[in-house]
Chain A
Amino acid sequence: MRLTGAQALIKSLEHQGVEVIFGLPGGAILPVYDPIIDSSIRHILVRHEQGAGHMAEGYAQVTGKPGVAMVTSGPGATNIVTPLADAYMDSVPIVVISGQVPTSAIGTDAFQECDTTGITMGVTKHNWLVTNAQDIPQVIADAFYVAQSGRPGPVLVDIPKDVSNSFMEYYQPEPSDLPGYKPPKEPELEKVRQAIELILNSKRPVIYLGGGSLKSRATDLVYELATKTGIPVVTTLMARGAFPDSHPLCLGMPGMHGNYTAVTSMQKSDLLIALGARFDDRVTGKVSAFAPQAKVIHADIDAAEIGKVRKPDVALLGDLKATLKLLINELNYHSQGLPLDLSEWLETIRQWQQKYPLTYNRDARDVLKPQFVIETIGKLSPTDTIVVAGVGQHQMWTSQFWKFEKPYTWVNSGGLGTMGFAVPAAIGAKVGKPESMVWTIDGDGCFQMTAQELVTATSERIPIKVAILNNAYLGMVRQWQHMFYEERYSEVYLSPDLPDYVGWAESMGCVGFRVEHPEDVEPVVEKANEITDRPVVIDFRIDVMERVFPMVPAGASNDEIIIGPEGGF
């Protein structure tokens, strides 16, 4: 079948089962936009290419399928660098197709030319510059394979305009066989047995559950391991929902803004079982003081993560699902000793939980507490509601106070910390899971970065809900200036009324509400939950000076955790 490169590209995407492309056309990608008209693939026209990238991420995070974004050359490509970097840090499989100036013009500083593959080399798992239309089906197959397999991540395929315009003979691609890319499968049995030995002999074990458990779709097996052994589980920012918060063994989020019990149980543990986690600095605090008595079992699919920060006693290199199957299988030979007798350890943990629960001033009547807003939205929304956050205080409060019961219900920007992530990511999530309610918890600073994508949401009928926790500040920065810069506030004030969020929302075709008093939260959220035909934005005027606690100061040991504000909540 004789096709143009552009037609072959769209056909290749269809062949990969792509349902939706988030994108924005331009000169160099023009030829590819013509066959889109005749394709079964839905195209969602974004208002800024950054939005396309985060939508693809949100889609991928909730469906497990790669998200696809399409942009033109030059500024189109540079605008999507942030989502690529974000996806790279959080191991999110996205495939970005970018247009490029014609091959004859490459290197001549042509209009809208930039070195896209060069620029994105450090923020993609791999990228390709296609120089021959005949290569397109195979490159697309390879791109999807690389994005999804092993440790997932973003890839980019750059296609010059003459390549998409030239003719080729279409073919079904071969299964990918890349000589330099062989993702590990499962760990050696010997290592698994060593891990079992450590588990059986541990007195204060903790499962340190990371986002890899979701990427590997291994959460059922994590549940089985935890409940079979009786070992408590901390769920990192990227793993919220991977183990249900309501389970007695769930200790919640560790790290800089983790709860006291999660942080301290890791500190005092004698065995950390890290499953798809990467010992991020936000979790470990000062590395040399992190979990000093703990032996470490580190299960990960990326050999470069093992020993990068903390040298493990047993390394389990492989897919987490395969690893957990082996672990559970081996554990079954020791079933008489299971669950482990951890009564003393679990009792210590209970005492910490009772003494230092996550809390805030629940009695506040004159000001609106952000935690109360989050809890109320959580209470009034179905348990499979997907909640999406940006980056900052609102993100930490959401991770702390939302009750996560199911995997793939939490989408946020963890590693890169991308402000403005939430609105477009929520749109992508809603496209991927149209039957689920999608709530965005956003900050006022974040919202202003990408709010224009609500125009996309309205015009494409993607009814997400957005709660702006409006404290008129770049709140997390202000919190650091409060605590570590002697309350010298530098360039963090934003104004609660400028922009007028309700008016702005309405101008973008959304329903806009404003809530200033605690008693109005419930009725307005109920009203918002009844609206299913368009996006809703609620401007919550929250307590301006509220801070996120607990907090481990940057660079400090996790033992130096600050429980709450001076003088209590």
Chain B
Amino acid sequence: MVELSNQDSPQRHLLSVLVENKAGVLARVAGLFARRGFNIFSLAVAPTNDERFSRLTMVVDVESSPLSQIINQLDKLINVVEIFELSPAKAVQKELLLATIKTDAQNRGQVITHVGVFGGKVIDVGQDCLTVELVGEPESLDAFEQIISPFGIVNIQRTGTVALPKLS
């Protein structure tokens, strides 16, 4: 089943894809994108409350192929049960970021302040660096990344967006 929102067509679209929880499903999805020349910007996948299914949240890039073609091809995979396009206005979106940031005695307070402003937490402390976690909308994580990059990012890992439709 395919449900398409009628939003304008920006470059990136958020798809919520319910798939059967079977071996090789991710390979089928990834293989389809590779052989059709579709681009995945980010991808998050985990089981749902129903053990038969997993939910895959993907941000796809529609520069190379129109969204309808991506969705229709995806829908042809036998293990793909349902595809929703989530328009940003009608979805709650979250992403988790972990970052290890260089700090010294002088700027450590500054970094901690920035983390606090974005609602993040310091979760590990080293001699000359901090590891922080931040949960937020992807754009806010982008902004945070920009703010902290002058301090020096040792390591960063983002999970990719997960999303669900808004209730109202």
Contacts and interface: CB of A to CB of B under 8 A. Distances in A.
A121 B19 contact: no
B27 A121 contact: yes
A180 B19 contact: yes
A307 interface: yes
Contacts of B28: 121
B10 interface: no
B31 A121 contact: yes
B76 A304 contact: yes
A122 B68 contact: no
Contacts, number: 44
A347 B90 CA distance: 56
B78 A146 contact: yes
Contact of A180 (B35, B69, B73, B78): B78
A179 B81 contact: yes
A129 B68 CA distance: 30
A126 interface: yes
B137 interface: no
Contact of A118 (B1, B27, B66): B27
Contacts of B19: 180
A307 B69 CA distance: 8
Interface in B56-74: 66, 68-69, 72-73
B79 interface: yes
A434 B22 CA distance: 42
B35 A125 contact: no
A384 interface: no
Nearest to B23: A129
Contact of A126 (B35, B75, B78): B78
A303 B68 CA distance: 9
Interface string A321-340: 00000000000000000000
A140 B24 CA distance: 19
A181 B82 CA distance: 10
B77 interface: yes
A106 to B, nearest CB: 11
A122 B77 CA distance: 11
A222 B28 CA distance: 36
A307 B68 contact: yes
Contacts of B80: 180
A121 B22 CA distance: 14
A306 B73 CA distance: 11
B85 to A, nearest CB: 15
B133 interface: no
A117 B24 contact: yes
Contacts of B66: 307
Interface of A: prevailing SS? loop
B81 A304 contact: no
B20 interface: yes
Contacts of B52: 179
Contacts of A129: 23-24
A178 interface: yes
B72 A303 contact: yes
B82 to A, nearest CB: 8
Nearest to A303: B72
A181 B52 CA distance: 15
A302 interface: yes
Nearest to A179: B81
B77 A180 contact: yes
Given A179-B20, A180-B19, A307-B68, A125 B78 contact: yes
Contacts of A125: 78
Most chain A CB neighbours (cut-off 10 Å) among B28, B35, B80, B82: B28
Interface string A102-140: 000000000000000110011001100100000000000
A26 to B, nearest CB: 24
B76 A178 contact: no
Interface string B1-13: 1100000000000
Contacts of B24: 117-118, 121, 129
A76 B87 CA distance: 47
B20 A180 contact: yes
A146 B77 CA distance: 11
Contacts of B69: 304, 307-308
Interface in B16-40: 19-20, 23-24, 27-28, 31-32, 35
Contacts of B72: 303-304, 306
Nearest to B82: A180
12 contacts: A117-B24, A121-B28, A121-B31, A122-B32, A125-B78, A180-B20, A180-B78, A180-B82, A181-B78, A304-B75, A307-B66, A307-B68
> A-B pairs with the 8 shortest C-beta distances?
A304-B72, A180-B81, A126-B78, A303-B72, A181-B78, A179-B81, A180-B80, A304-B73
Given A180-B82, A304-B72, A307-B66, 17 more contacts: A122-B32, A125-B78, A126-B77, A126-B78, A129-B23, A129-B24, A146-B78, A179-B20, A179-B52, A180-B19, A180-B20, A180-B78, A180-B79, A180-B80, A303-B2, A304-B76, A308-B69
